[in-house]
Amino acid sequence: MKKLLAFLILFLFPLMFLAAQDENYEIDLIDMPKSDLDSIFDEPLVEISGKETEQNQQEARIQQGSIISDIRRKGIEFGFSYYVQGAVNPGWDVFPWELKDENKFSWTFGAEIGSLVNINAQISENFRVRSVIKYTIPGLNLTFGDFFFDYNFFDKVFLRAGKYEQTWGVSPNFTFTNLLSRIADDDSVSVKGTSYIVKFDVPIGIGGLQALALTRANLAAAESNKIPYRNFIGFGGKLNLAFNWADFNLGIFIQKYMPVRSFLSVKTNIYDTDIYNEWLISVNDDGINGFAFNVGFIKTFLNDAMWINGEYLYNGEASIEYYKSKSNFSIQGAISFHKGHNFAFNFLYRLGGKIKPNVFTNIIFAHLPSGENSISFIPGVRITPLPDLDVYLALPMVFGDDLGFFNNMAFLKNKPLSLLLFVNLKGSYNISHYK
């Protein structure tokens, strides 16, 4: 049953879209930029607005690291970036919040200093290597970030292999269609480490076909000469068709110990408003295991000074986990996927002025069948009082049932109400030498 459905999804559905090809539309081999709203410090990107020109769209693709646009002369580029981050998070631990009860009030501090070295070597017109090395304190940690190579086969097939994160899907709020982040919910077999990927991109007319193999096994600790077991390697494919009236993505991912999952996303623009819709189906040995779908919009106003995003998601899957990488002060690891009705609303307003204040709001409401309803409400503001210095002030709040989804995942020390002050000082410098 699983193999039959996988065959139908991967091969029959694309045929319906290929029949309506528009050869005059440009090739789009990469995902459009999306924000990671799992961290309250990240702002939604206005670049995906419907008011974007074709030139801005191309620039966004280049910034996202398109393999095609990375073909350059021989040479090497060094990038150095530095940051100092600090945060303080006072708040109340339980509801009701009583000012006089010191046992229910706590403080959380955090600080980190880090440096990243980015090496980008263009060996030839067809061969490129990139590596990122990160050094942080406290802890005196030396870690390796992205490390991969690109190879171009006659401008027909583009290979990228190594250690990096690849994402699928459209939604800036719910990552249920990012099949590459899914992990098995059985701790005895689940692999929850950094992703290692071998990926092929093939342009086809108005779009592209992507095929990949992925593992999250810890290669430094794996047995069998540090080669991951076959059961820990997943295989997937994604077809992109970019018409001038809509953008389609169809993908599938298969791995041992997990159901076969496939998704379809559609994104279009109507009256300068981006509309997106995604569908997911999950199949195991017993048949259809679950499904999910969403519908959302992104709209900008006042010459892109105001950004609004709204979305509804129904998640019909159970016992779902996905891998969350580290972001600022959040900790990487496995996070449960909420089931039921979910609503999200995001608002961003750029006030302008010397300190460049940005007011933002993130609201997510989870309505679960078990009655454990909860709401995450995060209003905040970001200012830039000095060059290279950003200051965030936010008020994360969680409302709803005591056993609600967000009450169990409240930001920093399970605080349903807190005041967060986050300071980020950062800078970068690049050195290039090309023949």
Residue 362 bridge partners (DSSP): 346, 378
pLDDT at 141: 80
Which stretches of 8-124 are DSSP H helices?
13-18, 54-63
pLDDT at 61: 42
CA distance 15 to 165: 29
pLDDT at 46: 35
Q: Please give the radius of gyration of the chain, using alpha carbons only, rounded to the nearest integer.
A: 22
CA distance 380 to 361: 6
pLDDT at 262: 96
Is the model's pLDDT at 37 over the cut of 90? no
Share of the chain above pLDDT 70, in %: 68
Is the model's pLDDT at 161 over the cut of 90? yes
CA distance 81 to 78: 10
Q: Which residue has the higher pLDDT, 181 or 139?
A: 181
CA distance 374 to 402: 9
CA distance 192 to 326: 13
Distances (CA, A) of 321 to 160, 188, 279: 27, 14, 18
Tell me: the pLDDT tens digits for 90-99? 887 766 656 5
Residue 213: band (very low, low, confident or very high) from pLDDT cuts 50, 70, 90 = very high
pLDDT at 177: 92
Is the model's pLDDT at 47 over the cut of 50? no
pLDDT at 7: 38
Tell me: the pLDDT tens digits for 356-404? 888 988 888 877 666 567 788 889 999 999 989 999 998 888 877 655 5
State pTM to two decimals: 0.76
Q: How crowded is residue 262: how many other Cβ atoms within 10 Å of its Cβ?
A: 25
User: 215, 206, 125, 199: which is closest to 157 by C-alpha?
Assistant: 199
Which stretches of 19-149 are DSSP H helices?
54-63
Structure tokens at 158: 């583009």
The mean per-residue pLDDT over the stretch 79-100 comes to 79
User: 67, 58, 80: which is closest to 122 by C-alpha?
Assistant: 67
* Domain ranges within the chain, ordered by starting residue: 2-434
Is the model's pLDDT at 243 over the cut of 60? yes
Report yes or no: 170 and 33 within 8 Å, Cβ to Cβ: no
pLDDT at 333: 55
DSSP class of 67:
T
The mean per-residue pLDDT over the stretch 291-299 comes to 94
Question: Strand 247-254 relative to strand 260-270: parallel, antiparallel, unpaired?
Answer: antiparallel
Tell me: the pLDDT tens digits for 298-320? 999 888 889 999 999 998 886 56
Is the model's pLDDT at 73 over the cut of 70? no
> How many CA within 13 A on the CB side of residue 70?
25
Tell me: the pLDDT tens digits for 165-198? 899 999 988 888 999 988 876 666 667 778 899 9
> How does the average pLDDT of the chain come out, rounded?
75
pLDDT at 136: 87
The mean per-residue pLDDT over the stretch 254-260 comes to 88
Structure tokens at 18: 């290929």
Q: Is 334 exposed, middle or buried (0-12, 13-18, 19+ CB in 10 A)?
A: middle
Is the model's pLDDT at 34 over the cut of 90? no
Could you say which of 1.10.287.1080, 3.50.30.60, 2.40.160.10, 2.40.50.140 is the CATH number of the domain covering 2-434?
A: 2.40.160.10
Tell me: the pLDDT tens digits for 319-367? 566 776 655 455 555 555 677 888 989 999 988 878 888 898 888 887 7
Report yes or no: 295 and 266 within 8 Å, Cβ to Cβ: no
Report yes or no: 335 and 181 within 8 Å, Cβ to Cβ: no
The mean per-residue pLDDT over the stretch 242-263 comes to 92
Report yes or no: 358 and 344 within 8 Å, Cβ to Cβ: no
